[in-house]
Structure 1
Amino acid sequence: MLAKITVADYMTKRNMVTLKEDVNVVEAIKQLLSHKITCAPVINGQGKLVGMFSERDSMKVVLESAYNQGSAGKVSEFMSTDIVSVNADASIVDIAAKFKDSTIRSFPVFRDSELVGVVSRTDVLKALVNL
């Protein structure tokens, strides 16, 4: 039964938090904290996904600020650009396997080349307990 559940059934889609690549990283970190999320997709001026900004990327900001004692910079300077994405129609079981083999906590979700949501490890666990 779990194999029939899709990513679209549990992904975050409404009120999905995205960050613009030219936003100050301190503001981006505030967004992550205020929304209680561990990462967010980063989009360019045309609304296309160009990266992911995570808690891990935030640690780079902390370290660089400590050493340079200056301005923190923009999201584009710290975001991860090696993006692993998933299809909205993929089985939640397949995504669980991806999470098992990865340190990534959330994947951007696409349908027909359009960013439609984000799926996290927590979303997969929700699918399991809601059986």
Structure 2
Amino acid sequence: MMERQQFETMFSSLKEMNVRASDIMTTSIITASPDMSVRNAAGTMVFAGISGMPVVDESGKLLGIVTEGDLMHRAELGTGVRQRAWWLELVASTSELASQYVREHARKVRDVMTTDVATITESMPVADIADLLDRRKIKRVPVMRDGKLVGVVSRANLIRALVTMAPEVPADIESGDNAIREDVLAAMAGQPWALARENVIVEGGTVHLWGPVVGSDEGNAIRVAAENVPGVKGVVPHFGLPPTPSSQG
């Protein structure tokens, strides 16, 4: 839950700008063929500085994707899956054991690539792309147009977009303490970890957060919500302590 909240916070500015896959995707794509050797695929990724490649046939049709994860467990490197406990061997199906053997010993990309590949279109918003990468625990996703591969969006593309396209929150905005307090409360509104009104106090643009002891994830979410409010000069948590009655901003 907290990871989803952090992604939404990071990419809210890009979402408001209507940034989509077509705006940030890499179009100079390094691909692999299904008949490429595992050795050559590994070498290509190393020298290109990438951790995965789409696998396409001669017509450009996407067949799968080969990643570092697909090449981690290899017999020739001694990195194959360790011997299972005897009772796991008994319950493992013949199909599972055969599949493991192929991944550790196969010479061609077609035998080790991942075929269950998530794809997106050029019009997908960046917030949805970030959510997809997070949910599927993947680092990149192919971009398709009419069944053809036209680009790739990686986590690195999203971070570059955040740096180059998302507007900075002006640090010199002067807002009254009361207005800042209301904006901080509004930023947390509706969240299960939101602080009560009396636990948010602003003095000279510095937000003081009081209240009960909270977990680190909740505390970080509260702090981030306050930091993103224009005009805030600093955020000071005081969790576990009651608010000071003399400091009502």
Q: Which residue of 2 aligns with 1:57?
A: 70
In 1, the alpha carbon distance for the partners of 2:156 and 2:105 equals 34
Find 1:20's aligned residue among 27, 33, 38.
33
2:31 pairs with 1:10: no
1:112 paired residue among 146, 152, 158: 146
How many equivalent residue pairs? Answer: 127
- Once the two structures are TM-superposed, the CA of residue 45 in structure 1 deviates from its matched residue by 3.0
Give the C-alpha shift of residue 47 in structure 1. Answer: 2.2
Check whether the contact 1:13–1:117 (CA below 8 A) recurs between aligned residues: yes
Structure 2 stretches lacking a partner, 5+ long: 1-12, 81-100, 167-249
In our comparison, the structure showing a higher alpha carbon Rg is: 2
CA contact (8 A) 1:26 1:72 kept: no
| 1:127 has 2:143 as partner | no
Residue 91 (str. 1) matches residue 103 (str. 2): no
The separation in 2 between residues aligned to 1:36 and 1:119, in whole angstroms, is 15
Give the superposition deviation at 1:71: 6.6
Tell me the distance in 1 between the aligned counterparts of 2:130 and 2:111.
Answer: 30
Q: Is the 8 A contact 2:54 2:62 kept in 1?
A: yes
Deviation, 1:10, is 1.0
CA contact (8 A) 2:60 2:149 kept: no
Structure 1 or 2: larger strand share? 1
Q: Which amino acid aligns with 1:98?
A: L
- Give the TM-score normalised by structure 2: 0.48
**DSSP 3-state at the match of 1:57:** helix
Deviations 1:94-114 (A, max 9, x none): 101111212111101012222
Runs of 4+ deviating beyond 6 Å: none
Query: How many percent identity over aligned positions?
Result: 33
1:72 Cα deviation after fit:
5.0
Measured in 2, the distance between the counterparts of 1:106 and 1:96 equals 10
TM-score by length of 1: 0.89
Single out whichever of 115-124 and 98-107 deviates more from structure 2. 98-107
Q: Distance in 2 between matches of 1:9 and 1:93?
A: 13
Look up the SS of the partner of 1:31 in the other structure: helix
CA distance in 2, matches of 1:126, 1:104: 17
Check whether the contact 1:6–1:88 (CA below 8 A) recurs between aligned residues: yes
